[in-house]
Amino acid sequence: MKVLVAGAAGFVGSHLCDRLLADGHFVHAVDNFITGQPRNLAHLKGNASFAFTEADVTRPLDLPGPFDIVMNLASPASPRDYMAHPIETLEVGSVGTRNLLEIALRDGAGFLLTSTSECYGDPLEHPQVETYWGNVNPVGPRSCYDESKRFAEAMTMAYHRKHGVRTNIARIFNTYGPRMKLDDGRVVPQFVDQALRNQPMSIYGDGSQTRSFCYVGDLVDGLIRLSASDERYPVNLGNPVEMTILEFAQKIREASGCTSPIEFHPLPQDDPKRRKPDISKAKRLLGWEPRVPLEDGLIETLRYFRELPSKG
């Protein structure tokens, strides 16, 4: 198949490109590098099954189709990034998603949207099931991301209902692994960086808030399975093993062998207190569940960050 991957130079997008190429597909990658990194795709230069166009998907796109599947990963994703680019984030979820849906409509292609657990906001239901409508502050600092993704989901459903586009929506929960950006502020690169430099580990709030961390290889497998399915409504993809951020800091200390002290900082506004995916739907429909234990995923992640200087 010929697959269009938007947001390909990002953390998840670059792993998805690798998997699609390994499965024998042709990949046309697009990115404007607002938060992505050229080095994430550098190893694909010269691959005859891979093409790259530097473009902003919110602008008119002239890409050589026809495509069989359009995969939309384009969006700043870390709180630091989307708060630094709130208008671009709203634009890429709305105009960008629509432009990519138009390509899918033009080519009769499938369309995959990478949405997010942030659609549930600071959830009042736990764990989060796809039928939960969420608790989002529409005017808070995270709203540029949450509402952008909720709009993108609504736009995707509209193209399915109005035009019959074969759409899929993944609600992705916290994912980690090699190729995260060292300075994107997300908790995994932040703690790993601090651990490797033996600096204090910055816990926001008292560290009792919870998250569930999925290794990127598991997530990519879920995305591939979902894009081959007939399910039009959102499907949670994430690891249901939940832990507090304080426990997570301890896991990083153990995995890295560092002796960094813990340092407490103010909790950012609207930081979700608890998050854990209910993945019954993904298990039932896709036969999918995460396979990589946190300890193994952290070894791979630490190896990547340790070798980073040599990667330039």
Does the footprint of ligand UDP cover residue 171 (CB under 6 A)? no
Q: Report the residue number, 25 or 274, with the smaller CB distance to ligand UDP.
A: 274
140 binds ligand UDP (CB under 6 A): no
Q: How far is the CB of 180 from ligand NAD (least distance, A)?
A: 7
At closest approach, how far in Å is the CB of 177 from ligand NAD? 9
Amino acid, res. 267 = L
Contact string 40-79 vs ligand NAD (x = CB under 6 A): ----------------xxx--------------xxxxx--
Binding residues for ligand UDP restricted to 229-288, rule: CB under 6 A:
245, 268, 271
Q: Which of 215, 225, 224, 222 has the alpha carbon at shortest distance from 236?
A: 222
Residue 169 contacts ligand NAD per CB under 6 A? no
Do 243 and 275 form a contact (C-beta atoms < 8 A)? Answer: no
204: partner contacted, choices ligand NAD, ligand UDP, none (Cβ within 5-8 A by kind): ligand UDP
Using the rule CB under 6 A, give the single segment among 9-17, 149-157, 186-194, 217-225 that binds ligand UDP: 186-194
When CB distances are held under 5 to 8 angstroms depending on the partner's kind, the choice from ligand NAD, ligand UDP, none that residue 96 binds is ligand NAD
122 binds, among ligand UDP, ligand NAD, none (CB under 5 to 8 A by kind): none
> Which residue of 3, 4, 5, 10 would you call a contact of ligand NAD, by CB under 6 A?
10
> Which position has the token pair 């002239």?
62
Amino acid symbol at 118:
E
99 binds ligand NAD (CB under 6 A): no
Segment near ligand UDP (CB under 6 A), from 67-75, 197-205, 216-224, 303-311? 197-205
- Both structure tokens of 107: 């080519």
The residue range among 17-25, 26-34, 199-207, 243-251 that interacts with ligand NAD, by the rule CB under 6 A, is 26-34
d(Cα 168, Cα 235) in Å, to the nearest integer? 8
# of chain residues touching ligand NAD (CB under 6 A): 30
Report the sign of the C-alpha dihedral through residues 101, 286, 228, 174, in that order: positive
Single-letter amino acid, residue 151 = F
Tell which positions 25-84 bind ligand UDP, by CB under 6 A.
78-79
Contacts of 304 (CB under 8 A, 6+ apart): 177, 178, 179
DSSP E strand boundaries for the chain: 2-6, 26-31, 50-54, 69-72, 110-116, 166-172, 175-176, 201-204, 210-212, 214-215, 235-237, 242-244, 262-265
In the complex, least distance from residue 188 CB atom to ligand NAD, rounded to whole angstroms: 9
Centre a 10 Å sphere on the Cβ of residue 25 and count the other Cβ atoms it contains: 18
Nearer Cβ to ligand NAD (6/292):
6
Instruction: Judge whether 215 counts as a catalytic residue.
Output: no
Among ligand UDP, ligand NAD, none, partner that 34 touches (CB below 5 to 8 angstroms by kind): ligand NAD
Count Cβ neighbours within 10 Å for each residue of 188-213 and write b for 16 or more, e otherwise. bbbbbebbbeeeebbbeeebebbbbb
CA atoms 238, 153, 55, 66: torsion sign: positive
Any idea what DSSP says for residue 266?
P
Which parts of this chain interact with ligand UDP (CB under 6 A)?
Answer: 78-79, 174, 186-187, 190, 202-204, 209, 211, 245, 268, 271
